[in-house]
């Protein structure tokens, strides 16, 4: 593991925003828990099995993304050696010479996955393979000098002497051992958590988590997490000896790439809503409440914006950023910082082009709300318009905002993939589902086909988007007053 | 009369909500004979609609029949397979729903919707169906039925839609017609038309009618036999006359005394405290015990059985030994007389509110809806002026203009001697506490996301009433006490309260800023009769106590009779008759007021005046008729009426706008007007 005293934490812009968002979310949850009327609809989410399963899958994705957002710069290996010179002179030197840090940013996820990021083969290799995908000239393999054959991989299955039956047994052993240890770890963690919540009823609580308390579906979340832990355990043990999802053109492990892509998808999905939300909410309810010329201006604005092809606008802005970055290289310390700037800008421009749907939705709802009698009662009290917007309109459209936010998330993750494919997405050096799919374009044309990168990206992106959609459905069912069972006479 | 047409035995219906089963109908027995009008009477939430839906086997997904038998002509309907049930619905049993606006498919023509029933049930050809549809539309009194065939529901008014609904129900020539609150969404004059129509059709066709209603007046006018429902059970059953004249069950008795038209205007209304109990869990004892004025110890533990026959009986063992209701205490003094003065608190002169109609690409004005068109009135301090009229006559618009929620197109309003309609910006804001408003719908008038204390202090904070937050909270407690709610209510949310309690909160909100005038816009029309009595008493008490003046906007004339000192009757944006409440309501002068009064179904048959049924409906205020606005519907209209709008005339100590009213000073003539003869101009 890394020596925590020698690293230098580094904060990228997206890290700051993402962590800020998580803190805000925690604050919101705390606020909702304190208010019974706000918490009531969320309990209905806990009643839905699909909601709980998708929420826990989303939580795992979010955890990976968050780990990948804790960036730092490791100390260069020679720096401590230099500092640790003998005698008083060496001590003085240690004080005067600071630790030198790498220009390459690493994240907590990289550290956790070590040595996976560094286990780079020369080129393509299939999942679980022990030999490369292409033949190369091997020296000394045949008695006559060189021969063309599939070379053994440097890391994939390198521990095996025999590639036949031993490989199968080894894989089987790793899967069983990994799955069991993953499951044991998860159960242990749950038990520890139950104990930490208060030792008195720990056993009952633990049993409730696992077998349900007869009221809600939270035990489904627990089972999902156990399932994921089992899967992750098996994957981790396999990844110790093999490239589970193969390697790409430059020999990098596809599993590693997938895990790195998750952060990009999450950043796009969440930060963009951070941009959309204020614009959409303010313009939407202002248009609906004030009517008249304000409504006209806002409507013209979003109708115009909607009529411009989004991709065109995004392409233009991204290319402009690229020009700025190329002419101001001094502003960016590392390659990652450059890529991050472009990612942030992509979020911004995606946000600016995608607030129109939310604004239109909120305008319609506000038009209805402003005619309601409690709003008129407030007007009769001479309450100022902005107070009415904040106190009466906004809280009553919040459920729409929430639903739209969760629904938009999956759309934005897919949008990133499409934009990167077109070439106006994230920086090419940044790993994302989009860049993976983009490179798969050529791999699919090969004979025999290199299918694993695309398949892996597809499976993970599918899981993420499906979980987001199912969660959005559960949230909508719980929060939308129209789906509630009405009272009957 | 051998076998009854419909027999219902021990019918029970469960609703499964949130994992709990609510027994909303708990063992209902009744029978309907051929050609009989049977009324199921009860307040909202007592299970009468669920009973009707169970008869048709049309319960919502969460509902299920839990037991009992329903026999139509001896055949058990509950045993019938669903496929055969469809043959029955619309053919032998048909149903009319409350909301005519929601019961017709908006994208199908009238002809197609009625034709569907005819071709489906009677197997008529398209041509024969069209001919039959015209006959049906004529039968329900729709003029020009041939043209209506190809029209869509949005082209018809509310009353017409309800007629179409009735025509549709009649299309299958049913033996039993179930009418679920058929006139609740309609205006009084239209209600009178529809009730007359139902009565006539029933007599002509000899069909049975199951009438479900909460309106005692409608029951008195229509029904032969009545069953009163309370909390899922029939508590009293008998002939209409017997139940309404000599009620036996405490609930029926209290319900009748809670009607403002039964009690005199200066008396307190009898109220039934509390509300219909929630139906979850087992109810021990009598379901009415918590609200009963005659409750005895054994009522709370022993569930009362049915005492009597199927046709006549009561669910109360003490029904015959009940003492007379203790005399309700009279209202303090002659109700506001002391506080009232002749100095007008609010005076409106020639007020009009027009809404522009815009059309075309450039949205230019092509006309105006003259919602309020030259209205003058004055409200003395501490008194109540009632504004009466059908929906669409502009009374709510006028009320909102007085609270300054609408902008005036013309005229001016002065308040307490100073200008009111001319105030702008800060000057208006700082005086907004003087005039407040209570809305019709207590469910829409309280922000669901705010607690009661926040709702009540919002106005105080905005208008600077009370020195600081704790001072305002102290006021909240006082206000809650004034409107009869516990102080603990202040940290709760509106959804935790019933309709009546919500209306109390809305009244407390208006009172919070110490207004001198409160505009009450239909304050009780969304409430049940027993709760309405509580609110009316509260309004009266507050006036006696605080000397606040009311502008009462209502279409319910018995509420007006009970509360108002003066009455102004509005028709199409103008006031047609205005004067002291007692005089106007006892001896109406304007033909419209006469028609309005006679259209109200009265419980007390002796007070039912000769019905003057108005034809047609309220014309559009965007395009009022030439001359007197009322002339197309007036039985007395002549050439003068069609040419000039009548000037105000003083008659019988009030102001009337009618060409045919005898001038002031002339003797009052009971029937000054002679109905127009056919052929006469």
Domains of chain B, first to last: 6-230 (3.40.50.300), 344-569 (3.40.50.300)
Q: How many helices (H) and strands (E) does chain B have?
A: 21, 24
Residue of A434, A445, A450, A279 whose CA lies nearest to A346? A434
Instruction: Give SS3 for A11.
Output: coil
Residue A17 maps to a domain: no
- On whether both A271 and A380 belong to a single domain, the answer is yes
Q: How far is the alpha carbon of B441 from chain A, nearest alpha carbon, in Å? A: 8
As a whole-number percent, the residues of chain B with pLDDT over 70 amount to 91
The band of A84, judged by pLDDT with boundaries at 50, 70 and 90, is: very low
Whether residue A216 sits in one domain with residue A185: yes
Please check whether residue A247 is in contact with residue A77, taking contact to mean a CB–CB distance below 8 angstroms: no
Is residue B673 predicted with pLDDT exceeding 70?
Answer: no
Does B458 contact A378 at a Cβ distance shorter than 8 Å? yes
Say if the Cβ atoms of A488 and B24 lie within 8 Å: yes
Nearest-neighbour CA in chain B from A488: distance (Å)? 7
| Whether A217 and A264 share a structural domain | no
pLDDT of residue B192: 85
Say whether both A342 and A393 belong to one domain. Answer: yes
Looking at the DSSP bridge assignments, the partners of residue A131 are A152
| Out of B49, B403, B495, closest to residue A489 by CB | B49
Name the percent of chain B lying above pLDDT 90.
17
Residue B235 CB burial class (10 angstroms; 0-12, 13-18, ≥19): buried
Band (pLDDT 50/70/90 cuts) for residue B558 is confident
Which residues of chain B make contact with A381, given a CB cutoff of 8 A? 432-433, 458-459, 462-463, 513
Residue A156: predicted pLDDT: 82
A205 and A299 in a single domain? The answer is: no
B450 in contact with A at a CB cutoff of 8 Å? yes
Q: Is the pLDDT of residue B336 over 60?
A: no
pLDDT at residue B283 in the model: 66
Q: Are residues A221 and A281 in the same domain?
A: no
Q: Which among B15, B436, B459 has the least Cβ separation from residue A488?
A: B15
φ/ψ (deg, to 5) at B17: -120, 125
Asked whether residue A102 is assigned to any structural domain, the reply reads no
3-class state of residue A139 by DSSP? strand
Mean pLDDT of A326-331: 88
Contact B618, B572 (CB under 8 A): yes
Domain final position from A205, A239, A273: A239
User: Does B44 contact A at CB distance below 8 Å?
Assistant: yes
Give tens-digit pLDDT for B414-466: 998 888 988 888 888 888 989 999 998 888 889 888 889 999 999 898 888 88
Asked if the structure places residue A38 within a domain, the reply is: no
User: Cα distance from B52 to chain A (closest Cα, Å)?
Assistant: 11
pLDDT score of B156: 82
At residue A220, the pLDDT reads 87
Rounded to the nearest angstrom, the minimum Cα separation between A28 and chain B is 16
Query: Is the separation of the CB atoms in A465 and A408 below 8 Å?
Result: no
Question: What is the pLDDT at residue B280?
Answer: 62
**Predicted complex: ipTM over 0.90:** no
Which tokens belong to B437? 């408003």
Q: Residue B664 pLDDT > 60, yes or no? A: no
Per-residue pLDDT of B18-74, as tens digits, reads 667 788 888 899 999 998 999 999 888 788 888 998 998 888 888 888 888 899 888
pLDDT at site A302 = 92
What is the total count of domains within chain A?
Answer: 2
**Who has greater pLDDT, B328 or B364?**
B364
- The beta strand positions in A74-171, using DSSP E, are 106-107, 136-142, 145-149
Quick: pLDDT tens for B533-553.
Answer: 888 889 998 999 989 999 999
Q: Is B464 exposed, middle or buried (0-12, 13-18, 19+ CB in 10 A)?
A: exposed
Contact predicate A427/A339, CB 8 Å = yes
- Specify the 3-state DSSP secondary structure of B350: strand
pTM value surpassing 0.95: no
- Which B residues in the span 349-408 are in contact with A, Cβ-Cβ below 8 Å? 400, 403-405
For B494, the closest chain A residue by CA position comes to A37
Q: Is pLDDT at B398 greater than 50 in this prediction? A: yes
pLDDT tens digits along B168-186: 888 888 999 999 888 877 7
The residue among A36, A293, A295, A373 with the most chain B CBs within 10 A of its CB, best to mutate, is A373
Rounded to whole angstroms, how far apart are CA atoms B24 and A488? 9
Q: Do B60 and A396 touch (CB under 8 A)?
A: no
Residue A254 falls inside a structural domain: no
Lowest mean pLDDT among A40-54, A234-248, A259-273, B571-585: A40-54
Q: How far is A358 from chain B (nearest CA, A)?
A: 22
pLDDT band at B349 (very low <50, low <70, confident <90, very high): very high
Q: What is the largest CA-CA distance in chain A?
A: 100
Which of the four pLDDT bands, split at 50, 70 and 90, describes residue A338?
confident
What average pLDDT score do residues A131-140 get? 78
Mean pLDDT over each residue of chain B, to the nearest integer = 83
Q: Which range has the top average pLDDT, A60-64, B87-91, B578-582?
A: A60-64
Length of chain A: 489
pLDDT, average across residues A391-420:
85
CA B480 to chain centre: 27
Q: Please give the backbone phi and psi of residue B225, each rounded to the nearest 5 degrees, phi first.
A: -135, 145
Do A368 and A221 sit in the same domain of this protein?
no
Provide the pLDDT for residue A78: 62
Contacts of B433 in chain A (CB under 8 A): 381
- What is the four-CA torsion angle of B254, B259, B261, B262, rounded to 10 degrees? 0
Mutate which of A46, A216, A380 to test chain B, going by most B C-beta atoms within 10 A?
A: A380
Please tell me the least confidently modeled range out of A58-72, B1-15, B105-119. B1-15
Give chain A's contact residues with B (Cβ, < 8 Å): 37, 372-374, 376-384, 387, 391-392, 395-396, 485, 487-489
Residue A393 maps to a domain: yes
Closest-CA residue to B456 (of B444, B446, B443, B468): B446
- Which pair of structure tokens corresponds to residue A122? 């020369």
Which residue's structure tokens are 């077998």?
A: A211
A228-237, A289-298, B307-316: least confident range: B307-316
Question: Residue B657 is encoded by which pair of tokens?
Answer: 């706008």
Domain residues for A327?
A: 260-483
Residues A385 and A468 in one domain: yes
Interval A179-232: pLDDT, tens: 999 999 999 998 888 888 877 777 887 888 888 777 778 888 889 999 999 999
Which regions of B53-147 does DSSP assign to beta strands (E)? 63-72, 75-76, 93-96
Q: Is A317 in the same domain as A354?
A: yes
The pLDDT score that the predictor gives to residue B679 is: 41
| Prior bond of A85 cis (ω within 30°) | no
pLDDT value for A460:
92
Q: Is residue A326 part of a domain?
A: yes
pLDDT in tens, A302-313: 999 989 888 888
On whether both A332 and A401 belong to a single domain, the answer is: yes
Token readout for A471 is 């969660």
Same domain, A469 and A391: yes
Condensed to tens digits (0 to 9), the pLDDT of residues A241-280 reads 889 998 988 888 999 999 999 999 999 988 998 889 999 9
**What residues of chain B, 484 to 543, have a C-beta less than 8 Å from chain A?**
493, 495, 506, 509-510, 513
pLDDT of residue A485: 39
- A397-417 burial by CB neighbour count: b if 16+ within 10 A, else e? bebbbbbbbbbbbbebbbbbb
The rounded distance, in Å, linking the Cα atoms of B312 and B236 is 8
Question: What's the CATH number where A447 sits?
Answer: 1.10.3720.10
| Alpha-carbon span A117 to A120, nearest angstrom | 7
Instruction: Supply the pLDDT for residue B317.
Output: 85
In this structure, is residue A274 part of a structural domain?
Answer: yes
CA distance A457 to A432: 9
Residue with tokens 């002391």: B338
Secondary structure (3-state) at B175: coil
Residue A367 covered by a domain: yes
Q: Do the strands B566-571 and B574-580 form a parallel or antiparallel pair, or are they unpaired? A: antiparallel
User: Does residue A489 register a pLDDT over 60?
Assistant: no
Q: Nearest CA to CA, how far is A379 from chain B (Å)?
A: 7
List the one residue out of B222, B255, B221 whose CA is nearest residue B236: B255
- A275 and A368 share one domain: yes
**Whole-number pLDDT of residue B263:** 66
Average pLDDT value for chain A: 84
Residues in chain B closer than 8 A to A37 (CB atoms): 449, 493, 495
The residue of chain A with its CA nearest to that of B98 is: A489
């Amino acid at each position: 593991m890394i020596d925590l005293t020698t690293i230098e934490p580094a904060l990228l812009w997206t890290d700051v925003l993402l962590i800020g968002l998580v803190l805000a979310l925690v604050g919101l949850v705390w606020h909702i828990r304190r208010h019974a009327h706000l918490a009531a609809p969320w309990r209905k989410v806990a009643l839905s099995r699909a909601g709980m399963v998708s929420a826990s899958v989303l939580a795992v994705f979010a955890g990976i993304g968050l780990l990948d957002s804790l960036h730092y710069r490791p100390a260069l290996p020679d720096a401590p050696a230099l500092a640790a010179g003998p005698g008083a002179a060496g001590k003085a030197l240690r004080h005067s010479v600071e630790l030198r840090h790498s220009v390459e940013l690493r994240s907590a996820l990289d550290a956790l996955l070590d040595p996976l990021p560094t286990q780079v083969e020369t080129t393509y290799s299939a999942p679980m393979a022990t030999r490369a995908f292409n033949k190369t000239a091997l020296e000394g393999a045949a008695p006559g000098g060189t021969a063309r054959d599939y070379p053994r991989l440097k890391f994939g299955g390198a521990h095996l002497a025999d590639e036949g039956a031993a490989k199968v047994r080894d894989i089987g052993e790793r899967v069983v051992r990994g799955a069991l240890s993953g499951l044991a770890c998860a159960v242990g963690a749950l038990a520890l958590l139950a104990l930490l919540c208060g030792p008195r009823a720990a056993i009952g609580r633990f049993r409730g988590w696992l077998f349900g308390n007869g009221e809600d579906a939270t035990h489904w979340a627990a089972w999902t997490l156990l399932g994921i832990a089992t899967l992750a355990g098996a994957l981790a043990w396999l990844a110790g000896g093999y490239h589970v999802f193969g390697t790409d053109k430059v020999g990098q492990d596809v599993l590693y790439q997938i895990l790195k892509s998750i952060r990009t998808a999450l950043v796009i999905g969440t930060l963009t809503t951070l941009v959309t939300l204020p614009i959409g909410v303010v313009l939407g309810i202002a248009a609906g409440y004030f009517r008249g010329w304000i409504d006209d201006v806002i409507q013209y604005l979003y109708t115009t914006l909607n009529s411009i092809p989004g991709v065109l606008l995004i392409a233009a802005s991204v290319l402009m950023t690229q020009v700025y970055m190329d002419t101001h290289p001094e502003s960016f310390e590392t390659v990652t910082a450059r890529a991050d700037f472009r990612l942030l800008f992509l979020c911004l421009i995606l946000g600016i082009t995608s607030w129109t749907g939310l604004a239109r939705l909120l305008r319609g709802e506000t038009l209805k709300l402003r005619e309601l009698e409690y709003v008129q009662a407030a007007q009769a009290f001479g309450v100022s318009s902005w107070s009415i917007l904040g106190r009466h309109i906004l809280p009553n459209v919040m459920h729409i905002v929430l639903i739209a936010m969760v629904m938009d998330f999956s759309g934005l993750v897919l949008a990133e993939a499409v934009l990167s494919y077109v070439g106006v997405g994230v920086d090419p050096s940044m790993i994302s589902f989009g860049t993976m799919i983009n490179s798969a374009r050529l791999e699919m044309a090969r004979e025999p086909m290199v299918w694993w990168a695309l398949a892996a990206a597809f499976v993970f992106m599918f899981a993420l988007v499906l979980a987001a959609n199912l969660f959005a459905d559960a949230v909508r069912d719980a929060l939308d007053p129209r789906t509630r069972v009405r009272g009957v006479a | 009369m051998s076998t009854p047409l419909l027999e219902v035995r021990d019918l029970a219906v469960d609703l499964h909500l949130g994992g709990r089963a609510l027994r909303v109908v708990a063992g209902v027995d009744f029978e309907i004979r051929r050609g009989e009008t049977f009324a199921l009477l009860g307040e909202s939430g007592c299970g009468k609609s669920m009973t009707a839906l169970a008869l048709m086997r049309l319960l919502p997904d969460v509902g299920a029949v839990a037991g009992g038998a329903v026999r139509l002509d001896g055949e058990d309907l509950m045993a019938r397979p669903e496929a055969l049930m469809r043959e029955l619905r619309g053919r032998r049993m048909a149903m009319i729903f409350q909301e005519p606006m929601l019961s017709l498919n908006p994208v199908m023509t009238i002809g197609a919707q009625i034709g569907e029933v005819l071709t489906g049930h009677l197997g008529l050809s398209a041509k024969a169906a069209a001919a039959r549809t015209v006959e049906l539309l004529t039968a329900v009194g729709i003029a020009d039925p041939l043209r209506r065939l190809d029209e869509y529901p949005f082209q018809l008014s509310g009353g017409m839609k309800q007629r179409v609904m009735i025509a549709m129900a009649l299309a299958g020539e049913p033996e039993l017609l179930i009418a679920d609150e058929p006139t609740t969404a309609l205006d009084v004059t239209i209600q009178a038309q529809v009730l007359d129509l139902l009565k006539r059709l029933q007599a002509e066709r000899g069909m049975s009618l199951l009438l479900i209603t909460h309106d005692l007046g409608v029951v008195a006018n229509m029904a032969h036999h009545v069953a009163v429902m309370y909390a899922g059970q029939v508590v009293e059953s008998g002939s209409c006359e017997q139940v309404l004249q000599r009620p036996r069950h405490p609930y029926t008795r209290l319900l009748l005394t809670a009607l403002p038209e039964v009690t005199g205007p200066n008396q307190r209304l009898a109220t039934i405290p509390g509300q219909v109990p929630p139906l979850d869990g087992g109810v021990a004892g009598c379901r009415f015990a918590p609200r009963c004025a005659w409750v005895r110890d054994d009522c709370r533990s022993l569930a009362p059985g049915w005492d009597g026959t199927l046709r006549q009986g009561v669910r109360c063992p003490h029904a015959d030994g009940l003492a007379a209701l203790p005399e309700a205490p009279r209202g303090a003094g002659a109700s506001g007389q002391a506080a009232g003065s002749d100095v007008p608190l609010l005076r409106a002169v020639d007020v009009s509110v027009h809404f522009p109609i815009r059309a075309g690409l450039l949205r230019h004005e092509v006309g105006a809806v003259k919602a309020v068109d030259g209205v003058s009135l004055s409200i003395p301090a501490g008194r109540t002026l009632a504004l009466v009229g059908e929906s669409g006559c502009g009374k709510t618009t006028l009320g909102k203009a007085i609270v300054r929620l609408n902008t005036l197109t013309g005229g001016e309003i002065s308040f307490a001697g100073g200008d009111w309609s001319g105030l702008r910006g800060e000057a208006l804001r700082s005086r907004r506490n003087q005039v407040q408003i209570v809305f019709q719908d207590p469910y829409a008038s309280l922000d669901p996301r705010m607690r009661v204390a926040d709702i009540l202090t919002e106005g105080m904070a905005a208008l600077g009433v009370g020195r600081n937050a704790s001072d305002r909270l102290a006021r909240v407690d006082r206000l809650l006490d004034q409107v009869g709610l516990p102080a603990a209510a202040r940290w709760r949310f509106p959804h935790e309260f019933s309709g009546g309690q919500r209306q109390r909160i809305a009244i407390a909100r208006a009172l919070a800023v110490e207004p001198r005038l409160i505009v009450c816009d239909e304050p009780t029309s969304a409430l049940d009769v027993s709760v309405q009595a509580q609110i009316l008493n509260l309004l009266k008490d507050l006036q006696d106590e605080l000397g606040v003046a009311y502008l009462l906007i209502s279409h319910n004339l018995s509420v007006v009779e009970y509360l108002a000192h003066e009455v102004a009757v509005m028709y199409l944006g103008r006031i047609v008759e205005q004067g002291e409440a007692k005089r106007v309501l006892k001896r109406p002068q304007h033909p419209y007021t006469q028609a309005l009064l006679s259209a109200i179904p009265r419980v007390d048959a002796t007070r039912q005046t000769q019905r003057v049924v108005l034809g047609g409906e309220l014309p559009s205020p965007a395009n009022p008729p030439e001359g007197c606005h009322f002339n197309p519907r007036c039985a007395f209209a002549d050439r003068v009426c069609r040419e000039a709008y009548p000037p105000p005339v003083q008659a019988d100590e009030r102001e009337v706008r009618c060409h045919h009213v005898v001038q002031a000073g002339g003797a009052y003539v009971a029937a000054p007007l002679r109905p127009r003869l056919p052929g006469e101009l």
